[in-house]
Amino acid sequence: MRKLLLFSLILAFTFQTEVIAQKKKSRKKQTEQVAPKPKKSKKPKYSDFVKSNTKTDDGLFKVHFTNNKYMYEIPKAHFGKEMLLVTRIKDIPAGLGGGYVNAGSKINTQVVVWEKFQNKILLKVKSYNAIANDSLPIYKSVKANNLEPIIYAFDVKTENEDSTSVLVDVTKFFTSDIKAISALPARYRRTYKVRRLDPSRSFINSIKSYPNNIEVVQDFTFDADAPPSNSRTNTITIRVNQSMIVLPEDKMMPRIYDKRVGYFSIGNVDYSSEALKADDKRYIRRWRLEPKDINAYNRGELVEPIKPIVYYLDPATPDKLKKYIKQGVDDWQKVFETAGFKNAIMAKYAPTKEEDPEFSMEDIRYSSIRYVASTTRNATGPSVSDPRTGEILESDIIWYHNHLRSYRNRYLLETGAANPSARTLDTPAEEIGEMMRMVISHEVGHALGLPHNMAASYAYPVDSLRSGKFTQKMGIAATIMDYARYNYIAQPGDKNIRFIRQLGPYDHYAINWGYRKLSWAKNPESEVSTLDKWIEDKADNPIYRFGGQRFDPSAQTEGIGNDQVKASTYGMKNLKIVATNLPDWTSNQTNNYVDLSELYGELLGVWSRYVGHVSGNIGGIYEYNKKPSQKGFVYKPVTKEKQKEAMNWLQENAFKTQEWLLDDKILANIDESGYTNRMLRLQNRQLNGLLNKAKLERMIDASVIDPTTYEAIDMIRDLRNGIFQEANYTRNVDVFRRNLQKSFIDRMSTLLNSKNAQHADINSIVRGELESLNFQLTIAKNRRVNRMTKYHYRDCIAKIKEALNPN
């Protein structure tokens, strides 16, 4: 009975479970039958983006424009190819950058690559700071430790019909505030209190594709609380040009940099070296010049390059100046002949719209000379180069409109005493043109890869610059790349003098060294022995020396001649003549004092430069760049005799009150006050330069190498005795000297209480000299001098005590 009951219960449970299961299965089946099938996503087609009304520009990439959207069609073959992305300003608001930024200014240059990752196209920045041969194991480590930043990630919209390229929408990229391609660096954003980019007032003007480059023009409008102009708008609008150019796959063979010859350079750290450390490699920056006929070139014949260097003149250039600008470029043709090239460089007038509707000054395929409507007085010669090899790809020389006024003023001030044609505000047009021609030549030199060579002006003996025969042939410095603008040494009565700078022998030497094709060389290293020989063959001739402006008195800006004391003495004699005649040459001609005031201010600047050339000798170290195979030391202190001579000259021509600069016919007509402060600022520049911590440390170190040199303790004692000369006699001290003497004490106090002096001797010397001065002034204040001098001495004593015992 129990068994039968148990069996019945099991049977009932099993039957019920099956029924429920069947019902669930039936419901599931019904659900499956009635549920709609999911639609397959429709893959976008090429025709969805490139339609009948689409405008397409074919070039490096195809650029498609439809309904205010820009698409790049990127060939897959271009993935991983290195391209140079150059950000420039096309049009600029007034005042941006303080006057030294202009239409055409380069803001950023970076190597970029396009890469595919999943369904994205990445735009990445590639660095050449660290490199290694990709066949070596260490290449993996270099890659791992130099991860490339991603500027932007684009969605792949679709592919073209044969799947050889992908389409990406670049509209948002070029209308957003992407810092990597922005024309407003962080410092400008801080200065102008930029808050945000306004997308409603920012847009793409155009995108044009050429065979090797793509040019994008954008308008950006930013909300800014302190814009450089139109302040009430709280707005900065800037037009930007982005140039993307594919870098040459056939790389130019680099030339190894040598600091004995002046060239701009690019550098990287090469981990491929088998030495115990990575190699720092550095290559010069230069244009790629390849001879059309290599056999004729190797025979020593002049040969035209396959691709010459061409500069286009800005259509905005005034007609009367065009020929001088063109000459400034073409003058380098003769220089390149020294390197074996004929017609290697030239200037051309920009084509008209009818001749070439696609021509643009922003197009990176064209180098240009821009004429900028700006009150800035300057000119520059920047360039764009391949960071892998140093090959210069393009450059834009910039001339600012007001720059000629600077040259006219300097011409009058520096040569007017010996040069009758400079004694006017209306400088003859041909002479103005010659000045402009030489400025352009100087900037072209930069664009060819040459930096300033301030040592070149030291190559010529001072008295040679008073010779007509010498200056007409050799100019006033050995290179156009020095800042030797005018011959201020020639004296009244000297005949047939060249007053304006020109190209010189160093320019021929440097271009030959950097540009001559060594066709037999297989790699940069194989050229070195030949390049070394060219340098060492001329190493003893100062005409071919390269020097940078730092602590070397023979490489100073604006100076000429190989003896600064002698040169500045001649310069001062001329400047005194000019100062006497300045009203006659300016206000008496114009019947106003505007030019007199401007030129007097610049005359003080010229005086300050002449003084600075002499003060550079004190604590100066000559630098003669050499390799160990050459004789002599690299660094050599200026002799004690030369430094003492410079100190005596400074006391007489800088620290003594210069009465000739205080002509009432000038001062009483240009300003109501400020004469003493202006003179003090100029004297302080020289004083602070002498009592400079780095200079004093250099003098202390120099005495270790050469115990006979001018020591810091002697220099400060001589400086004190000269500046406080009146305290040794019964003499009144005038207001200019009183100001200078107090400045001396203030500067000494700063040195004494400096927390970061590298040499304890500086503190000892300064303390000892202040104590000696305190004793000297304590006696002097009791002499029979006027009341102002007595008060002055008492004040000086109080300042010394405060310096010696602060707080």
Mean pLDDT of the chain: 88
pLDDT digits (tens, 9 = 90+) for 136-180: 454 444 454 556 889 999 999 999 989 999 999 999 999 999 988
* Side-chain-side CA neighbours of residue 528 (13 Å): 11
Q: Is the pLDDT of residue 271 over 80?
A: no
Residue 758: predicted pLDDT: 57
Q: Is pLDDT at 17 greater than 50 in this prediction?
A: no
104 pLDDT band (50/70/90 cuts)? low
At 13, the pLDDT band (50, 70, 90 cuts) reads very low
Which residues fall within 8 angstroms of residue 733, CB to CB, at 6 or more apart?
A: 726, 741, 785, 788, 789, 792
Task: Give the separation between CA 169 and CA 174, rounded to whole angstroms.
Answer: 10
List pLDDT tens digits, range 301-327.
999 999 999 999 988 888 899 999 999
* pLDDT value, residue 633: 92
> What's the pTM value of the predicted model, to 2 decimals?
0.87
Which stretch of DSSP H or E encloses residue 436? helix 429-447
26 pLDDT exceeds 90? no
- Which residues have C-beta within 8 Å of that of residue 520, sequence separation ≥ 6? none
Question: Which residue shows structure tokens 């207001």?
Answer: 735
Task: Return the closest-CA partner of residue 546 out of 410, 443, 641, 449.
Answer: 449
**What residues contact residue 709 under an 8 Å CB cut-off, 6+ apart?**
637, 638, 639, 640, 643, 699, 702, 703
CB-based burial, 713-750: b 16+ in 10 Å, e otherwise: bbbbebbbbbbbbbbeeeebbeebbbbbbebbbebbbe
Q: Which of 437, 432, 428, 371 is nearest to 404 (CA)?
A: 432
d(CA 793, CA 782) in angstroms, rounded, equals 9
CA 798 – CA 793 distance, rounded (Å): 9
Report pLDDT for 414: 97
Instruction: Please determine, for residue 369, whether its predicted confidence score (pLDDT) is greater than 70.
Output: yes
Buried b (16+ CB within 10 A) or exposed e, 635-668: ebbbbeebbbbbbebbbebbbbebeebeeeebbe
**Contact criterion met (CB below 8 Å) for 647 and 715:** yes
* Better-predicted residue by pLDDT, 157 or 19: 157
Confidence of residue 107 (pLDDT cuts 50, 70, 90): confident
- Residues 237-264 as b or e (16 or more Cβ within 10 Å = b): bbbbbbbbbbbeeeebbbbbbbebbbbb
Q: How far apart are CA 37 and CA 134, in angstroms?
A: 52
Q: How far apart are CA 479 and CA 331, in angstroms?
A: 13
Share of the chain above pLDDT 90, in %: 69
Of 96-105, 106-115, 144-153, 622-631, the range with the lowest mean pLDDT is 96-105
Q: What is the rounded distance in angstroms from the CA atom of residue 341 to the CA atom of residue 297?
A: 8
Q: How crowded is residue 394: how many other Cβ atoms within 10 Å of its Cβ?
A: 22
Q: What does DSSP say about strands 62-66 and 120-126: parallel, antiparallel, or unpaired?
A: unpaired
pLDDT tier at 268 (50, 70, 90 boundaries)?
Answer: low
DSSP classification of residue 151: E
- Dmax of the chain from CA atoms? 151
